[in-house]
Structure 1
Amino acid sequence: MSWFESLILGLVQGLTEFLPVSSSAHLRLTAAFSGWHDPGAAFTAITQIGTETAVLIYFRKDIVRIVSAWARSLADKGMRGDHDARMGWLVIAGSLPIGLLGVTLKDQIEGPFRDLRVTATMLIVIGVIIGVADRLAARDEKGGRHRTPKQRKSLEDLSVRDGLIFGLCQACALVPGVSRSGATISGGLFMGYRREAAARYSFLLAIPAVLGSGVFEVKDALERDHVDWGPTLFATVIAFVSGYAVITWFMKWISSKSFMPFVWYRVALGIVIIALVAAGVLSPHAAESAG
Structure 2
Amino acid sequence: MDILQIVFLSLIQGITEFLPISSSAHLILPTQVLGWPDQGLAFDVAVHFGSLIAVILYFRKDVWHLIRDGLGGFKTGQFSDEGRLAWLIVLATIPAGLAGLVFKDFVETHLRSSAVIATTTIVFGVLLWWADVGGKRRDELGKLNWKKALMIGGAQALALIPGTSRSGITMTAALMLGMKREAAARFSFLMSIPVIALSALLLTLELLGTDSVVWGDIILGVVLSGISAYLCIHFFLQFISRIGMAPFAIYRLLLGGALIWMIFAR
TM-score (norm 2): 0.95
How far 1:73 sits from its partner (Å)?
Answer: 1.2
Deviation readout 1:197-239 (Å, 9 max, x if unpaired) = 1111111111001011101111211234444443133212110
Q: Which residue of 1 aligns with 2:54?
A: 54
State percent identity of aligned pairs. 38
Q: Which residue of 1 aligns with 2:197?
A: 211
Deviation readout 1:102-160 (Å, 9 max, x if unpaired) = 111121232212111001100000000001011113xx46xxxxxxxxxx111111111
Paired with 1:157 and 1:49, the residues of 2 have a C-alpha distance of: 31
Paired with 1:41 and 1:228, the residues of 2 have a C-alpha distance of: 11
Return 5+ residue gaps in structure 2 as ranges: none
Moved more, 226-235 or 266-275: 226-235
CA contact (8 A) 2:43 2:217 kept: no
User: Aligned in 2, Cα 1:166/1:46: closer, same or farther, shift over 3 Å?
Assistant: farther
Deviation readout 1:170-214 (Å, 9 max, x if unpaired) = 111111101111100110000000111111111111100101110
Moved more, 182-191 or 213-222: 213-222
AA aligned opposite 1:127? G
CA contact (8 A) 2:118 2:163 kept: yes
How far 1:41 sits from its partner (Å)?
Answer: 5.8
Alignment coverage as a number of residue pairs: 266
Q: Does 1:121 align with 2:107?
A: no
**SS, match of residue 114 in structure 1:** coil
AA aligned opposite 2:254? A
Paired with 2:245 and 2:2, the residues of 1 have a C-alpha distance of: 35
CA contact (8 A) 1:2 1:231 kept: no
AA aligned opposite 1:275? W
Q: Which residue of 1 aligns with 2:93?
A: 95
CA contact (8 A) 2:181 2:244 kept: no
User: Aligned in 2, Cα 1:43/1:104: closer, same or farther, shift over 3 Å?
Assistant: farther
**SS, match of residue 254 in structure 1:** helix
Two-structure CA RMSD over aligned residues (Å): 1.6
Q: Which residue of 1 aligns with 2:237?
A: 251
AA aligned opposite 2:68? S
Q: Which residue of 2 aligns with 1:6?
A: 6
Q: Which residue of 1 aligns with 2:161?
A: 175
How far 1:240 sits from its partner (Å)?
Answer: 0.2
Q: Which residue of 2 aligns with 1:276?
A: 262
Deviation readout 1:28-84 (Å, 9 max, x if unpaired) = 11222221023356633441121121111111111111110011112221x23x111
Q: Does 1:220 align with 2:206?
A: yes
**SS, match of residue 61 in structure 2:** helix
